[in-house]
Each structure stands twice: as structure tokens, then as C-alpha cells.
Amino acid sequence: MSSTLLIIFGFSITFLMTTLGAVCVYFLKKPSNFLNMLTIGFASGIMLSASIWSLLLPSIEYAEEEYSNLAILPVATGFLLGGMFMVFLDKVTGHFSNLKQNEGKNKAFKLFTAVTVHNIPEGLAVGFAFGSAFATNGNLFPAFLIALGIALQNFPEGLAVALPMYKTLGNKHKAFFYGTMSGIVEPIFAILGFFLASQLTFLMPWLLSFSAGAMIYVVIEELLPELHINEKTTIGTWAFMLGFVIMMILDLCL
């Protein structure tokens, strides 16, 4: 495979795997309380695990390289800014969620936004990897492995967005659309990262920790409280643990 085709495939595979994850919504039956608890728990586990292993730890690594003794500054600040961004988003969209029937849509929208924001630094990371290797005439295959690892993580993320959307909207086509669109930013920012590989690395700690803050805010504020609405079952808790473990394995083994 030529270098050009490898780069194109590396940029595309992250979005394709998100799409494949979202496609799974078509194989589900009508939403039920059981499916609702399963969905929320699974999505929460995936998001929390991704925030730690895919975002905060890499953010610390980038910060140590770029800021040395001040490494904690961009990580902590970016994390808090991510949470503040979701508060701001909540205020902006609050005008449309005053009625009870709109609250579910507001929560689903914030979940979609948090996952989409989290995909931006992942796309940049793929672009940086290919851009750095290409600029130095190095081997592109390690960069492709990074793209492949992120792509495999995106499969459950696409499903984690599509499932709550299906539960909220009751429409599989719309749920698939939102699940797919949450990953469209990755190839876009991968292209940006490819051409700006040497200029944007100082932003990575901020972007990664910002995304982590946004995702953890949504998990704590919107998703976890719903796991305890029905105290007669622990299916939501076990779904959370399963989602967390799946993402942890993907992050640590790829």
C-alpha cells in the first residue's frame, strides 16, 4: 500500500468504526426500561474510561514534554474548562428544556456534544502521528497503528451515542445519524493535525484535558443519577462496569 493510501485509510478508519458502532442501533428492539438502564450504564462506563485512559493520561504525557515543570497547569485548567463549557452549554440549551418532555433531548444532546468534543483531540493525534512521520520520511506504519487503536475504541463510542438517542428520539435513523456524526470531526481534525503537526503539539494537553472534563461532567451530572432511579436492579451498574472495562482494555492493549 502506498504512503498516500495508508494516510487516507488511517484518517478514514476512525470515522468508519464510529459509523459501524452506530449501525448496531438498527438491530435493537423498541426501547424499554431495561434497555434504558443498560444504555446509560454502558455509555457512562465508556465515557469515564475514555476520559481517563484516552484523554487525561495522554494529556499528562504531552504536558510533560511541552511544559516540563508546569505540566499540571494545562491538564488541570483544561479539565476545569471542559466542565465549565458543559455548564455553559446547559445554560444555552436550558431555554429549550424547560418542559419535561424536552429534558431527555437536552441530555442526549449534551452526551452527543461531549463525545464529539472528545473526538477532536483524537483526530489531531492521528494527524500529528502521520504528519510527523511523513515530514521526517519515517515509517508510517506506527502512525497507522495509532489510528487503528483509536478506531477500535470508536466502535463502542458510536453505539454509546446512538443508543441514548434512540431511547430519547424513538427513531433509529436519527439515532444512527447522531451516532455517526459524533465521529465526523476525527478525519477533519486529522487532516488539520497532519499539516500542522509541528505547530499544534503545545495545544494537545489543553484539548485532551478539556475533553475529559466535558465528558466526566456529563457522566456525573446527567447519566449516573439515572442509574439509581430503579433501585430494584443493578443492571445499570454492571453495564457501567462492562463499558469501563471494554474501553480500558482497548486503550491499554492497542
pLDDT of 99 reads 40
The confidence band for 141, taking pLDDT boundaries of 50, 70 and 90, is confident
pLDDT of 32 reads 66
pLDDT above 70 covers a percentage of the chain that reads 88
pLDDT of 98 reads 47
pLDDT of 243 reads 86
The domain in which residue 72 lies consists of 3-253
Stretch among 112-116, 180-184, 229-233 having the lowest mean pLDDT: 229-233
Which grid coordinates are listed for 64? 510533560
Residue 222 and residue 83: Cα distance in Å, rounded? 13
Give pLDDT tens digits for 76-87. Answer: 999 999 889 888
- Residue 15 CA neighbour count, 13 Å, CB half: 18
Q: Tell me how far the alpha carbon of residue 119 is from its chain's centroid.
A: 5
The pLDDT of 22-26, averaged and rounded, is: 91
Cβ distance 111 to 222 under 8 Å? yes
Structural domains of the chain, count: 1
